[in-house]
Amino acid sequence: MPEQKRTEDAIADPSRQFETPMDVLRDTRLDVDAKRAILESWKKDAELLSTATNENMTGGENPLPILQQVTIALEKLEETSGRIN
């Protein structure tokens, strides 16, 4: 799969390409911007699931662990890339 297509697929659905958010950081084929985009997408998905859970609109999934993992991964990415938002 071409790298651009793989990155686009990972942004669209990170959990299909990566088991954990830290796996995104370990992927040496991705640049910092691609990693950030994937993690931000994963964070948005987790936040939406959290909102749905709070409104009793899910099948019982607990989004908090993944949201915490994504937040930690984003912080580590910012620390290692030298960029702080």
Nearest alpha carbon to residue 34 among 80, 79, 77, 67: 77
Interval 17-42: pLDDT, tens: 999 999 999 999 999 999 999 999 99
Contact (CB, 8 A) for 33 and 6: no
Q: What is the mean pLDDT of the chain?
A: 85
**What pLDDT, on the 0 to 100 scale, is given for residue 81?**
87
